[in-house]
Amino acid sequence: MNAVIYARFSSHSQTEQSIEGQLKVCYDYAQANNIQVIGEYIDRAQTGTNDNRTAFQKMISDSDTHSFDTILVYQLDRFARNRYDSATYKAKLKRNGVRVISAKENISDDPSGILVEGVLESMAEYYSAELSQKIRRGMEINAQKCKSNGSNPGLGFKVDANRDFYVDPDEAKIVRETFERYAAGETVADIVCDYNGRHLKTSKGKDFNKNSLHRMLQNKRYIGTYLYRDIEIPGGMPRIIDDDLFERVQFLLEKNKKAYARTRGNDEYLLTTKLFCGHCLEMMTGYSGTGKSGKKYCYYACKNSKKKKCVKRIESKDSLEDMIVGDCKELLTDENIEIISKSVSDACKKEADSPAVKMLEKQIRDIDNAIENLWSALERGESSDMVTERIEKRKKEKAELEAQLATEKKKQVTYTYPQIYGFMKKLQASDFTDIQDRRSVINIFLRAVYLKDDEYTLLFNTGTRPMRVTKELRKEITEKFTNDSVCSSTSSVVPPQSPSDLSLTGLYFFIRLLRMFDI
């Protein structure tokens, strides 16, 4: 098996040393698994949130030569942090017979591994949301007391040790000047130009611009109103501007506004990276548009169809997602939950013995042995100055490695069987109106959906066969699992390119939906 290593570090948080660490782990993994490394692709000071990386693009291009069949990465976020980019490039590599392996993460590339990855991703999101909720509660308590919650208080205000706001006299002069000049008829552009010419700075220490000045002119804090999310408490802040001046400025802002702000939709398309056209096998992505009546429509469309290169028609987002969620939630049986909980908890235990942790622990043991040998040398009467210097050097190396080890252990997944079981039971009891629950059940169970206009085929991370759903069966499913009795005429779906592409290696679960319809 021939492999190349891809390594990357981000400019804001890592250094050249992180590349050396990534390469060391990858080479150790290759040696342990009889993999021959034939090359390296390295991006320095490059973010993983987009694909605009020189070495990364060259590696993808070189995969066309079929000179390697594996890409080794330290962990999967080195390859890509953007889920769409990751799925797109993995699909291209798969066509060239190349797969991506994480040296650090014990996640297999078979359906079992995909299932485990989906559960861990969903649980991480769940616990992150739970933690955020607790933090929000604490901040809301602070807000009721008109305390600072850590955000930028705005020009003219400072926060003391008790988290109370007070007025900064020098900055307050700039705030009053801004309101008075705008109320007198000066334009925002003229005020910005003057402030930057005087080298005045915003509360963030940056040059002024139209947006920062508009935010200042609309900030109710300057008339003494405490603001936090939806909480507004008049008199909760020290006042800088009187009500009359503030109201005059608001009137002029409204009058001078030349166009209404255009807002972008924030709809989430749950099937992104899992939904494929059954005609051309291109990925289908989410779009939205507004009809003549002003109503907003959200749908999925084949990328080639948008370019007039495919006949696949668009699919209603809500109708399609409702059906797929209905298909997936039938797999949340008590039996399946038991098996999933055990499988994922076992995977978490294996993660505790990750290659990175083992490597660091071994290096620490080696240093301990070296220090012990140096002490023995000192006892034998060797040059004390030289030996002492080497001992101190080794101690520093050990301290650095122990810090790295602590960091690695913090990164490890530590979910236990009861935690996973509780999460899955909560999901089982859900009515799936919550977006997070819908996302979780899709991530855990669904591998891919192939759509045509008369039928669709689902590939689950379960069972041994794909599930093919015809137009008639689809209507029956919709009536059974949704509140609507009729499918939208704009929503229909599809099979894959060939049966061989759909065969899945054996896994843990029976698919109740297949039994229900005797497929």
> Do 208 and 292 fall within a single domain?
no
Same-domain pairing of 251 and 151:
yes
Question: Which of 203, 202, 246 lies closest to 223, judged by CA?
Answer: 246
Query: Looking at the domain assignment, is residue 264 inside a domain?
Result: no
Decide if 337 is inside a domain: no
Compute the mean pLDDT over every residue in the chain, rounded to the nearest whole number: 77
Q: What tokens does 297 get?
A: 């429509």
Closest CA to 4 of 123, 98, 81: 98
More confident residue, 475 or 429: 429
Determine what percent of the chain is predicted with pLDDT higher than 70: 74
Residues 113 and 100 in one domain: no
> For the domain that residue 205 is a member of, what is the CATH number?
3.90.1750.20
Residue 503 clears pLDDT 50, i.e. is over it = no
Considering the domain architecture, whether residues 12 and 37 belong to the same structural domain is answered as: yes
Single out the residue in 229, 256, 283 at which a domain terminates. 256
**Mean pLDDT computed over 278-287:** 87
Q: What are 138-146's contacts with CB under 8 Å, separation 24+?
A: 139/228, 140/228, 140/229, 140/231, 142/228, 143/226, 143/228, 143/229, 143/231, 143/233, 144/231, 144/233, 146/226, 146/233, 146/236, 146/237
Helices (H), 380-493: 384-411, 417-428, 435-445, 471-481
Average pLDDT of the segment spanning 482-492: 31
Which pLDDT value is given to residue 502? 26
Highest-pLDDT range among 341-350, 393-402, 408-417, 499-508: 393-402
Please tell me the distance from the alpha carbon of residue 248 to that of residue 441, in angstroms, as a whole number.
53
Residues 149-196 pLDDT 10s: 888 889 999 999 888 999 999 999 999 999 998 887 788 888 999 899
Instruction: Count CB atoms within 10 A of the CB of residue 462.
Output: 26
- Confidence band (pLDDT; 50, 70, 90) for 485? very low
* Contact present, 105 and 350 (Cβ < 8 Å): no
If you average pLDDT over each of 59-68, 72-81, 286-295, 469-478, which comes out highest?
A: 59-68
Mean pLDDT computed over 81-96: 71
Give mean pLDDT, residues 430-448. Answer: 86
**In the chain, how many domains are there?**
4
Q: Is 422 a member of any domain? A: no
The closest alpha carbon to 271, from 325, 233, 234, belongs to 325
* Residue pair 343/444 in contact by the 8 Å Cβ criterion: no
- Confidence check: pLDDT of 26 > 80: yes
pLDDT, one tens digit per residue, over 291-312 is 778 888 899 999 888 888 999 9
pLDDT of residue 501: 31
CA distance 106 to 412: 11
pLDDT of residue 102: 84
| Lookup result for tokens 């291209």 | 92
Q: Do 252 and 149 belong to one domain?
A: yes
| 97 and 113 both lie in a single domain | no
Domain assignment of residue 379, given as a range:
355-411
Q: At what angle do helices 111-144 and 334-351 cross, to 10 degrees?
A: 90
> Could you tell me the two tokens for 302?
């084949």
**Residue 259 burial (C-beta neighbours within 10 Å; 0-12, 13-18, 19+):** exposed
**0.85 exceeded by the pTM?**
no
Tell me: the pLDDT tens digits for 395-424? 888 888 887 777 666 655 567 888 888 888
Which pLDDT band holds residue 126 (cuts at 50, 70, 90)?
low
Looking at per-residue confidence, does 84 or 487 come out higher? 84
Position 345 in a domain: no
Which residue reads 């603001």 in tokens?
227
289-298, 311-320, 502-511, range with greatest mean pLDDT:
311-320
Q: Which amino acid is at 176?
A: R
- Alpha-carbon distance 327 to 332, whole Å? 10
Q: Give the percent of the chain with pLDDT over 90.
A: 21
Is 290 a member of any domain?
A: yes
Res. 267: pLDDT tops 50: yes
351 has a pLDDT exceeding 90: no
The CATH number that applies at residue 22 is 3.40.50.1390
Whole-angstrom distance, CA of residue 519 vs CA of residue 515: 7
Assess whether pLDDT exceeds 70 at residue 505.
no
Asked if residue 250 is part of any domain, the answer here is: yes
414 within 8 A of 348, measured Cβ to Cβ: yes
Question: Looking at residue 255, what is its pLDDT?
Answer: 73
Q: What is the pLDDT of residue 260?
A: 33
Are 53 and 89 in a shared domain? Answer: yes
| Cβ contact 312:379 at 8 Å | no
427 falls within a domain: no
**For residue 52, pLDDT beyond 70:** yes
Q: Classify residue 505: in a domain, yes or no.
A: yes
Residues 16 and 94 in one domain: yes
The predicted-structure confidence for 241-260, as pLDDT tens digits, reads as follows: 999 899 989 888 887 764 33
Res 463 pLDDT > 60: no
Count the neighbouring beta carbons within 10 Å of the beta carbon of residue 513: 23
Same domain membership, residue 127 and residue 152: no
Looking at the structure, tell me whether residues 321 and 469 fall in a common domain.
yes
pLDDT at 87 over 60: yes
451 forms beta bridges with 277, 456
Residue 101 structure tokens: 């392996």
- Claim to verify: residue 47 and residue 116 sit in the same structural domain: no
Given this model, what pLDDT does residue 341 score? Answer: 86
Which class for 188: exposed (0-12), middle (13-18), buried (19 or more C-beta within 10 A)? buried
Q: What is the DSSP string of 100-157?
A: EEESSS---SSHHHHHHHHHHHHHHHHHHHHHHHHHHHHHHHHHHTT---SS---TTE
Shared-domain flag, residues 324 and 471:
yes
- Choose the final residue of a domain: 376, 411, 446: 411
The residue among 238 and 116 whose pLDDT is bigger is: 238
